[in-house]
Amino acid sequence: MAVTTRRMQDLTVEDHTLTVPLVWGDDADPRTLEVYAAVVARSGGQDLPYLVFLQGGPGFEAPRPYHAPAAPSWLDAALEHYRVVLIDQRGTGRSTPIGDADLARGTDELVEYITHLRADAIVRDCEAVREHLGASTWSVLGQSFGGFTTLAYLTTDAASLREVFFTGGLSAVGRHPDEVYALTYDKLRDASTRYYRRFPHHRDTVRQLADLAADGRIILPDGEVVSVSRLRSLGMLLGSNDGWQKLHALLETSPHTNAFRYDLADALPFSPRNPLYYVFHETSYADGFATRWSADRVEPDDFRDDVTLLTGEHVRREWLDTVPGFGPWRDVVLALAEHDWPKLYDADRIAASDAHGAAAVYVNDLYVPVEFSLETAALMPGVTPWVTSEHEHSGLREGDVLPHLFDLARGARVR
């Protein structure tokens, strides 16, 4: 293992790199990968307990340890009480990242490799880091997919967790991906309607842009000919606190300008910069199921008929044909869509975990439906839910969310 220490203003950052098995529990498999973790402490906080941050995604590395605004404001709040462990989940960042170069392995080998990047394996990596740091227990902050991973943690290794904090990360337990995606379409329908109620002229703008896309007349700087479904995925912006402003600015820009093309490229979700997010996304809801392009299959009729109804975190099979950066991944993605994923969560074990902490559950969450989040919260009576319409899915980025969760976990009066 490799450890280095550096200073970042008043922060001490220890860089840890561990070599771990690719396949946990199979001593006959010699393959390994590296897992990187940054342990961050404020001056004078080197003896505080550990809080490990599990990033959203899947397919994204952890944020880097700077002060806000270069890093999210929650980090400064967390450092008041903890040493923060920022782990790049396997396959991302500095933890043996997956990228286009891996396509040279061949489809079968790469598909098999990617099946070992799930939340259950991330939990085993976390346990290796915890033991390496000499901590008998630590606390976890799970944002979005990181919260899903925390549920997997409670399923297998709850004794290692002192406190758990969820932000938009209480996944459905035991439900089929089709149920989740069907409900997220309902959320996007409502979000689209609310947006057009505020800016009614933008409904015609989106319709005009969809006509341009259907004619192949919106071309991004990387050469992507934007499809109608790709354009409609701009609804992803409506799931963050200030995303509507970015959407509004884009729709006020002439589509015949460089500014529009570059801004659109920046606004679209599922960038080839992080192919794993597209390749691997639907598996995050595959709690014992194959996904088989769930979001495509359950799209409601009104979404098929009305191009102004925006979509969000819904991956599309057709993007394998229309997004240049995804085309090389075709065979891998098609194979993963048919893969029968084992169960991640055990409701009985989560209920028996005696988990303590707090969870931000966002009423208007477009990606993690509040209805299923509250079902999951009911399994953990020691985790206080904060059900709020004050923030969208990105609420952790705001300065007040994490301190409020800390207060709830410590029994402070709910505001």
Of the residues 16, 202, 314, 393, which is catalytic?
393
Could you give the 3-state DSSP secondary structure of residue 138? strand
| Active-site residue, selected from the candidate residues 95, 144, 294, 394 | 144
* Kind plus residue range of the DSSP H or E element containing 126: helix 119-133
The DSSP code sequence of 357-381 is EEEEEETT-SSS-HHHHHHHHTT-T
Q: How far apart are CA 85 and CA 65, in angstroms?
A: 10
The contacts found for 217-225 with CB under 8 angstroms, 24 or more apart, are 218/255, 218/261, 218/264, 219/261, 220/261, 220/264, 220/265, 221/261, 221/262, 221/265, 222/265, 222/324, 222/325, 223/324, 224/265, 224/322, 224/323, 224/324, 224/325, 225/322
Q: Checking DSSP bridges between strand 83-87 and strand 32-42, what pairing results, if any?
A: antiparallel
- 393 catalytically annotated: yes
215 belongs to the catalytic site: no
Helix (H, G, I), strand (E, B) or coil at 19: strand
Q: Which amino acid is at 324?
A: P
What is the per-residue burial (b if ≥16 Cβ within 10 Å, else e) of 226-261? bbbbbbbbbbbbbbbeebbebbeebbeeebeeeebb
Q: Is 73 a catalytic residue?
A: no
Cβ pair 282, 294 in contact under 8 A: yes
Distance set, CA 144 to CA 55, 61, 369, 392 (Å): 7, 13, 11, 12
Q: Give the active site residues.
A: 144, 340, 393
